[in-house]
Amino acid sequence: MTTALPTRAASPRLASLHALSATADVHAPLDDVRALAPASTPRGPSARALSGRRPRRRLGPGRRLPYGLAIGPALLLAGWAVASATGALDARVLSAPWTVVATARDLIADGRLLSNLLTSAQRAFLGLALGVGLGTVLALLAGLTRVGEALVDGPVQIKRAIPTLALIPLLILWFGIGEQMKVLTIALGVVIPVYVHTHAALRTIDARYVELAETVRLSRWQFVRKVALPGALPGFLMGVRLAVTGAWLALVVVEQINATSGIGHMMSLARSYGQTEIILLGLVVYGLFGLASDSAVRLIERKTLAWRRILAG
């Protein structure tokens, strides 16, 4: 005689047992893992020590050092001071830092340093403004139109192969030795880096953005303002950084060509009289101006391009 087995409907208790056993089977591997794991998993340095694994090494440059930009110049100045104090540097060859500071104080007191400084700064910033404006316009013409590229890119690349300082004799014949020649020489040294980097940034804008602008039917001016200019901004700022350096390099040369004022003129007079401390003072002034200008452009770059996630942070 066989006894009929109860069905799930007839025996709710048996159905719950079946469900419990099925659940236990599904979670059995997880229960085994939990049983093998310790009751509480430590974290932090102690966890790394217990696991025996090394922490993952960060491949980036790390956090920004406070006043990091001043560390290199400070070390250079310290080495100069130590070499002068120990006699490793002859004062007739290279004056000591304190001698340069005393000379700067004397020149500031009689007004010569400030007057020459303002003249040099005016020349540099006029040439920089003219060169940056011209380089940007040429880059937009060559980067956004094929006709502009055919007309502009070739002559600019030819000029790129010719050093700006090699054009000084020709500029003197055309414009004389006045302020116009000096400002134009600085501007010609500024145009090329601004053009090259801005043009390259324009030509490397993602084509999907262009297609999107066409899809939403942006006008030509709206495309330039909302897509082209923001896309070219990183390259433009990099070109400006190089242009700032080029402006001060060109200024050093043009101010020593029959100039009657400026830091370069002051250095030329000092060379005639063997005053190395004034020559060094002029070099320090050029270096400080270049460092301050580059730092200003880098600050603008960080503020303007804060949306980018880059290696430098």
76-129 pLDDT, tens digit per residue, is 889 988 988 888 888 778 888 898 899 999 999 988 889 999 999 999 999 999
Cβ atoms 217, 288 nearer than 8 A: no
pLDDT number for residue 185: 92
pLDDT number for residue 13: 47
pLDDT number for residue 1: 45
pLDDT number for residue 190: 92
Q: List the pLDDT tens digit at each of the 313 positions of the chain.
A: 444 444 444 444 444 444 444 444 444 444 444 444 444 445 555 555 555 566 666 666 667 777 777 788 889 889 988 988 888 888 778 888 898 899 999 999 988 889 999 999 999 999 999 999 999 999 999 988 889 889 999 999 999 898 888 888 899 899 888 889 999 999 999 999 999 999 999 988 888 888 888 888 888 888 888 888 888 888 999 999 999 988 988 888 888 877 788 888 888 888 888 888 899 999 889 888 888 888 888 888 888 877 666 555 5
Tokens 């790390």, residue located: 62
Cβ atoms 193, 134 nearer than 8 A: no
Distance of CA 212 to the CA centre of its chain: 30
Kindly calculate the radius of gyration of the chain based on its CA atoms and give it in whole angstroms: 34
pLDDT number for residue 70: 77
Helices (H) and strands (E) in the chain, counts: 14, 0
Distance of CA 93 to the CA centre of its chain: 35
For 91-149, the DSSP string reads TTTS--HHHHHHHHHHHHHTTHHHHHHHHHHHHHHHHHHHHHHHHHHHHHHHHH-HHHH
Angle at 148 between CA 146 and CA 154, to 5 degrees: 100
